[in-house]
Amino acid sequence: MGKFVITKRSNGEYQFNLKAGNGQTILSSEGYSSKAGCDNGIDSVRKNSQDDSKYDHKVSSNGKYYFNLKATNGQIIGTSEMYESVSSRDNGIASVKTNAPDATVDEQTT
């Protein structure tokens, strides 16, 4: 089972990482100024993760593959790691779809 891990950055912002059951990070958020904003981001990932149209398939300038998950308003709510192949990126998307809806939340902000 996956989990959302909430951490606090050195600048005081909150962020979350969605981790698969094996502990690998599959999606990382932007920085949020409040814990409530971070919680809303997690809710948005849960809600939008099942909609294929919310995933932007990208190629970075160094030729690696990644994806962004977008909210209904078009704002990016999470970015994947870099993958070596299109199939690996697609597996990452499938992992988000599998893990996000029922993922637990592990707050590590202290």
User: Can you give the pTM of this predicted structure?
Assistant: 0.93
Instruction: Catalogue all structural domains in the chain, each as residue range(s) with its CATH number.
Output: 3-108 (2.30.29.80)
Of the candidates 80, 77, 75, the one whose C-alpha atom is nearest the C-alpha of residue 96 is 80
Least-confidence region, from 24-28, 82-86, 105-109: 105-109
Q: What is the pLDDT of residue 27?
A: 98
Q: What is the mean pLDDT of residues 44-54?
A: 97
Q: How many CB atoms lie under 10 A from the CB of residue 97?
A: 15
- Would you call 62 exposed, middle or buried from its count of C-beta atoms within 10 A (0-12, 13-18, 19+)? exposed
Give 55-83 pLDDT, tens digit per residue. 999 999 999 999 999 999 999 999 999 99
